Amino acid sequence: MAKLLLYLTLATSLIPLFSVAFSPENPTDRRVLVLVDDFAIKSSHSLYFGSLTSRGFQLEFKLADDPNIGLQRYGQYLYDALVLFCPSVERFGGSIDVASIVDFVDSGHDLIVAADSNASDLIREVATECGVDFDEDPAAMVIDHINYAVSNFDGDHTLIASDDFIKADVILGSKKIEAPVLFQGIGHSLNPANSLVLKVLSASSSAYSANPKSKLSNPPSLTGSAISLVSVVQARNNARILITGSLSMFSNRFFRSGVQKAGSSIKHEKSGNEQFLTEISKWVFHERGHLKAVNVRHHKVGESDEPAIYRINDDLEYSVEIYEWSGTSWEPYVSDDVQVQFYMMSPYVLKTLSTDQKGHYSAEFKVPDVYGVFQFKVEYQRLGYTSLSLSKQIPVRPYRHNEYERFLPAAYPYYGSAFSMMAGFFIFTIVHLYSK
Amino acid sequence: MVSGGSDSNSHLFLPQSLTTSFQSCLPHNIFLNVWGDGINCWQALSQSDGRWRYSSNNPESSTFAAGIALEALSGVVSLASSEIDQFMIGAVKNDIVKLFDSIEKYDDGTFYFDEKLVNMREQQGPLATTSSVVRGLTAFSSVITESLNLPGDKILGIAKFFLGIGIPGDTKNFFDQVDLLACLENNRVSIPLILSLPSTVISLTKKDSLKVKVNTVLGSHAPPLTVTLVRAFSSSARDNSIIENQELKFDPQDAVYFLDDLPASFDVGEYIFVFKMLVQDSEQQTVYATGTLTQVPIYVTGLIKIENAKIAVLDSDLGSVETQKKLDLAGESTVSVSANHLQKLRLSFQMSTPLGNAFKPHQAFLRLRHETKVEHTFVVGSSGKKFEITLDFLGLVEKFFYLSGRYDIQLTVGDAVMENSLLREIGYVELDLPEPPENASRPPPQPVDPYTRYGPKAEITHIFRAPEKRPPEELSLAFLVLTILPLFGFIIGLLRLGVNLKNFPTSAVPATFAVIFHLGIAAVLLLYVLFWLKLDLFTTLKTLCFLGVFLMVVGHRTLSHLASASAKLKSA
């Protein structure tokens, strides 16, 4: 009986270790809450959801106004990521609202928001909290009369074929997306002062955002390539957000349809939507572009243990190991632009670390001849990668009294004078005592 | 199974169990009981609004259950065909009509059945519910002799609903969709006929013709029909119909109905075409559900002529033309003009449709972009065929943030029905604006190129302090020699003076003491040298203590001996 109790307590105490949730050692999200307007989306967008479940995500579908939904219970988050495919929701059910979604993202979790041409104010507010501004006109859609997708049924040029992608392999994958991406919905703009948002798919310079049914009397507020069709935000805590103005971009219909851009004679059999959205979902859910830096070490050249203090004009070596999460394991990260700074109020030394191609980076330099408390700083920020911010404090002391040069040629006259005085004294004692 | 009584009614209900049980029961007096039990079921579980309950225990009524019930009843009727009570059949038909009162519809004319039950564990969605109802009533109608009078437009609406959802990703939904369409393809209630257009975009330049296809829901051929284009009107002028009551011709090869030629007065634009179908064989008209009128939006596209494009710089007060240049919007050439804030810039061109009518495109923008990437967009206004925009720089100086310099001019003209929408860099204008006053607003910040934001920074190496300048070594050596020279001078001087060692004690003991005394002095001096070279003060002081005491003893002996020797000499 006692043994059974013992085994039970052991088993229950080990359960937290077996959970495969989001954690710093395993940064890919696992449990995803998908909020939809109605369950028909589960069926009409099944290819996209299928691509997520085939990579191991557990999707839970709930109606956006279901009164039982909640992101956290008793202080613990129930999900690792949130997907909002509910453009027309007026009020979220349960305990979800804009503030709780912002808290969710602030705690490091990822978010995908898809609006559409009937987007409600609530979804626009969520997007504004994330840093993008949708067009205020509720009836506006993105129209492009030069880069539209040739179609027998959408004659009003709101179905756009766009291939103006961001040039980042880490976000869009290394394989080039051949076919343009079909888009039909509303556009948004980014604040130029915001350094965290990126335009992944932007509209061409002939695009504008307006109501296709009514004539324009004033120039529209969003025109040209300032209109972003798909944007991503990487927050400072490395939470990733994907915002787009077209829910139908994710639909099976767009995934399967062929595309021909107006003015071009190339007819692609399949649009680039599936490849584009699958690759960008991999990035949003941290399967790519997530870096960690471990094993920061520094020592004097020639020694191996880490001293507590350096002396000016010492030669030291700094090394760090950087790994990238590949979705299943940590792979060494290879790059030639990781830099270390030796910093006290401003960088005194900034050096590029050399790599051994297996994730180990090191650099050697001489300690400056200024003494004080310095920091080894590595601030690594690259497009699409999580930011690395390492800092290690180390004091630097000046020379001790016995570390200076011992004998100076400029002092030879003084040495000469002292010793010649001693020799003279010795001779004098002998001579003075014994001469007559 | 066939024991009668109300408590067994619940398991009589599933059609699968019914058919298997029927096959296993051979005596035909069973059939009478089946029919009787069927009536009992119907009386017990059907509701007045046409829906059925799942069991006598469950008070909720469900449309999905009604569909299953109808299928089961059709099985019962087909087996007990000799004992059918016509009153009962009539009552079931009334129930079906009442069931159709609960049908729901969308604004675009599609119909569907849906239900929201509180007590059921899993909700049957609209697809499953509608599919079960249609299955039930097509099965029922196939076994009864007279026809069910169901509203044809509702059947057509149900068919349009199921065709409009595309291909569902869920396998159960896909099964329900295909099952329902198969029931509707060929049934005795009414077969819906769907009118569709292979293309709703007609191009005047390619001389497309209007084609219409009519099929059953799964794509099979329809019976011979007359398809009439009742009205065609422009979406902006709904009262004025351009075509009225034009019959479409049938092309048996492609099985399409087409309109020979659009009338010559058909210009580009958005139109709404209204079609009507009628089955030619009047007996079959009740079998097929064709609906009343079908409205289809059509876009007629064509090439819009843009001509007579000019750009001119005008003087503000007089309106006289200072410079005027012709623009070639079809080609690639660019022009350059210059203006200052007292002048106006005017761009004008003419647009006309292929038939020569005035045309107002949805998008006609003139964009000026400064070197610093600040952009300003204007809408080009029009009156009739003439499009003109005049930029009065005097009023725009503040809007342009007082930025002088080169502005690139870009013209964008586009519309949904224009096949030749254009985006052209026309050239540039050198604009000379006055200096901004103190409190002028700054131009908005431009976005930073993300590719340059993230690059590696320039390397910094610390420049070490140069060591202090020291005198050259030769100088120190020269002075070393100079400082040693007095020693030699001293020795030479002593020799000149004629010093000697005559006073050195001759006897043994004082001599050794004297020698030891001088050696002691030498040892102390050597200790000083060693201290300078490598010793620290503590060992030096320790050694000096010992040496000092020793030297004092020896020195005292020697010096006292020397003093007594000289005193003897003096007294003598």
User: What mean pLDDT is predicted for residues B336-350?
Assistant: 86
- Contact at 8 Å (CB) between B297 and B271? yes
Q: Is any Cβ of chain B less than 8 angstroms from the Cβ of A345?
A: no
Q: How far is A76 from chain B (nearest CA, A)?
A: 29
Contact B377 A223 (CB under 8 A): yes
* B264 vs B355: CA distance, rounded Å: 9
| 3 state DSSP class of B24 | helix
Partners of B483 on chain A (C-beta within 8 Å) are 413, 416-417, 420
Contact A409 B470 (CB under 8 A): yes
Whether A2 maps to a domain, the answer reads no
Interface of A with B in 173-192 (CB under 8 A): 190, 192
Clarify whether residues A412 and A377 are in a common domain.
no
Q: What is the pLDDT of residues B140-191, one digit of tens each?
A: 888 777 777 777 788 888 888 888 887 887 888 888 888 888 888 878 778 8
Cβ contacts below 8 Å, chain A against chain B, sum to 211
Helix or strand (DSSP H, E) at B75: helix B63-79
* A265 vs A327: CA distance, rounded Å: 39
DSSP codes of every residue in B140-157: HHHHSSSPP---HHHHHH
Could you say which of A244, A267, A284 is where a domain stops? A284
Residue ranges of alpha helices (H) inside B401-472 are: 450-453
Q: Please report, rounded to a whole number, the percentage of residues in chain B having pLDDT higher than 90.
A: 9
The reported pLDDT for the residue numbered B117 is 65
Contact B503 A424 (CB under 8 A): no
Contact A411 B465 (CB under 8 A): no
- Token digits of residue A115: 């609006």
Q: Is any Cβ of chain A less than 8 angstroms from the Cβ of B107?
A: no
Contact B410 A43 (CB under 8 A): no
How is chain B split among helix, strand and coil, in percent rounded to 5?
40, 25, 35
B95, with CB counted inside 10 A (0-12, 13-18, 19+), is buried
Give the number of residues written for chain B.
572
Query: For each of chain A's 436 residues, which pLDDT tens digit applies?
Result: 777 777 666 655 554 444 434 566 777 768 999 999 888 888 889 999 999 999 989 999 999 888 888 888 888 899 999 999 999 999 998 889 999 999 999 999 999 999 998 889 999 999 999 889 998 888 889 999 988 888 888 788 899 999 889 888 889 988 999 999 999 999 999 988 888 999 999 999 899 999 888 888 888 888 888 899 999 999 999 899 999 999 999 999 999 999 998 888 889 999 999 999 999 999 999 988 899 999 999 999 988 899 999 999 999 999 999 999 988 889 999 998 999 999 999 999 999 999 988 999 999 999 999 999 999 999 998 888 998 999 999 999 999 988 888 888 889 999 999 999 999 999 998 888 887 7
Clarify whether residues A349 and A253 are in a common domain.
no
CA atoms within 13 A on the CB side of A98: 14
Planar angle of CA B532, B533, B537, nearest 5 degrees:
50
Q: What is the pLDDT of residues B231-283, one digit of tens each?
A: 888 887 777 777 788 888 888 887 888 887 777 777 888 888 888 888 888 77
Contact A219 B379 (CB under 8 A): yes
Partners of B377 on chain A (C-beta within 8 Å) are 219-220, 223-224
> Which chain B residue has its CA at the smallest distance from A197's CA?
B450
Could you say which of A284, A305, A327 is where a domain stops? A284
Helix or strand (DSSP H, E) at A377: strand A372-380
Tell me which of A167, A233, A385, A412 to substitute to probe the interface with B (most B C-beta atoms closer than 10 Å). A412
> Which chain B residue has its CA at the smallest distance from A43's CA?
B169
The domain tally of chain A equals 3
Q: Is any Cβ of chain A less than 8 angstroms from the Cβ of B129?
A: no
Interface of B with A in 172-191 (CB under 8 A): 173
Contact A223 B525 (CB under 8 A): no
Partners of A417 on chain B (C-beta within 8 Å) are 483
Contact A166 B450 (CB under 8 A): yes
* B164 vs B196: CA distance, rounded Å: 12
Tokens 């972009």, located at residue: B369
Contact A426 B444 (CB under 8 A): no
The reported pLDDT for the residue numbered B82 is 67
- Contact at 8 Å (CB) between A351 and A373? no
Clarify whether residues A348 and A413 are in a common domain.
no
Phi and psi at B189, nearest 5°, equal -85, -75
Interface of B with A in 476-495 (CB under 8 A): 476-477, 479-484, 486-487, 490-491, 494
Q: Is any Cβ of chain A less than 8 angstroms from the Cβ of B525?
A: yes
Clarify whether residues A228 and A107 are in a common domain.
yes
The reported pLDDT for the residue numbered B450 is 77
Q: What is the pLDDT of residues B376-387, one digit of tens each?
A: 899 988 888 889
Whether A379 maps to a domain, the answer reads yes
CATH of the domain at A365: 2.60.40.1930
Largest CA distance in chain A: 136
> Which chain B residue has its CA at the smallest distance from A254's CA?
B166
Contact B200 A152 (CB under 8 A): yes
Clarify whether residues A184 and A333 are in a common domain.
no
**Nearest partner of A289 among A198, A363, A217, A226, judged by Cα:** A198
| A30 CB-near residues (< 8 Å, 6+ apart) | A20, A21, A22, A56, A57, A58, A80
Clarify whether residues A134 and A269 are in a common domain.
yes
Q: What is the pLDDT of residues B477-497, one digit of tens each?
A: 999 999 999 999 999 998 898
Partners of A435 on chain B (C-beta within 8 Å) are 499-503
**Nearest partner of B90 among B133, B42, B135, judged by Cα:** B42
Contact A350 B458 (CB under 8 A): yes
Question: What is the dihedral sign for C-alpha A211, A212, A218, A222?
Answer: positive
Q: How far is B188 from chain A (nearest CA, A)?
A: 31
Clarify whether residues A300 and A277 are in a common domain.
no
Contact B502 A435 (CB under 8 A): yes
Whether A226 maps to a domain, the answer reads yes
The reported pLDDT for the residue numbered B261 is 73
Lowest mean pLDDT segment, chosen from A251-260, B13-22, B295-304:
B13-22
Q: Is any Cβ of chain A less than 8 angstroms from the Cβ of B336?
A: no
Partners of B129 on chain A (C-beta within 8 Å) are none
Whether A170 maps to a domain, the answer reads yes
Clarify whether residues A124 and A228 are in a common domain.
yes
Partners of A311 on chain B (C-beta within 8 Å) are none
- Taking the CB of residue A358, how many other CB atoms lie within 10 A of it? 10
- Contact at 8 Å (CB) between B93 and B148? yes
* A53 vs A47: CA distance, rounded Å: 10
* B118 vs B127: CA distance, rounded Å: 19
Q: Is any Cβ of chain B less than 8 angstroms from the Cβ of A225?
A: no
Contact B487 A152 (CB under 8 A): no
The reported pLDDT for the residue numbered B345 is 87
Partners of B446 on chain A (C-beta within 8 Å) are 192
DSSP bridge pairs for B213: B196
Whether A355 maps to a domain, the answer reads yes
Contact B503 A420 (CB under 8 A): no
Helix or strand (DSSP H, E) at B96: helix B86-99
Q: What is the pLDDT of residues B518-561, one digit of tens each?
A: 999 999 999 999 999 988 899 999 999 999 999 999 999 888 88
Interface of A with B in 19-48 (CB under 8 A): 39-40, 42-47
The reported pLDDT for the residue numbered A311 is 92
Q: Is any Cβ of chain B less than 8 angstroms from the Cβ of A413?
A: yes
Partners of B455 on chain A (C-beta within 8 Å) are 337
Report which of residues A26 and B570 the model is more confident about: B570
Whether A120 maps to a domain, the answer reads yes
Give the number of residues written for chain A.
436
| 3 state DSSP class of B430 | strand
- Whether B23 shows a pLDDT value over 60: the answer reads no
Clarify whether residues A164 and A308 are in a common domain.
no
Tell me which of A54, A145, A388 to substitute to probe the interface with B (most B C-beta atoms closer than 10 Å). A145
Clarify whether residues A396 and A410 are in a common domain.
no
Tell me which of B480, B519, B525 to substitute to probe the interface with A (most A C-beta atoms closer than 10 Å). B480
Whether A11 maps to a domain, the answer reads no
Q: Is any Cβ of chain A less than 8 angstroms from the Cβ of B528?
A: yes
Q: How far is B161 from chain A (nearest CA, A)?
A: 13
How is chain A split among helix, strand and coil, in percent rounded to 5?
25, 35, 45
Average of per-residue pLDDT values in chain B: 81
* A277 vs A250: CA distance, rounded Å: 7
CATH of the domain at A108: 3.40.50.880
- Whether B6 shows a pLDDT value over 50: the answer reads no
Clarify whether residues A395 and A409 are in a common domain.
no
Whether A205 maps to a domain, the answer reads yes
B70, with CB counted inside 10 A (0-12, 13-18, 19+), is buried
> Which chain B residue has its CA at the smallest distance from A432's CA?
B499
Clarify whether residues A409 and A397 are in a common domain.
no
- Whether B28 shows a pLDDT value over 50: the answer reads no
Say what the pTM is.
0.80
> Which chain B residue has its CA at the smallest distance from A209's CA?
B363
Could you say which of A284, A306, A323 is where a domain stops? A284
| A53 CB-near residues (< 8 Å, 6+ apart) | A59
Q: Which residues span the domain enclosing A332?
A: 290-401
Tell me which of B460, B474, B517, B526 to substitute to probe the interface with A (most A C-beta atoms closer than 10 Å). B460
Residue ranges of alpha helices (H) inside B387-435 are: 393-396
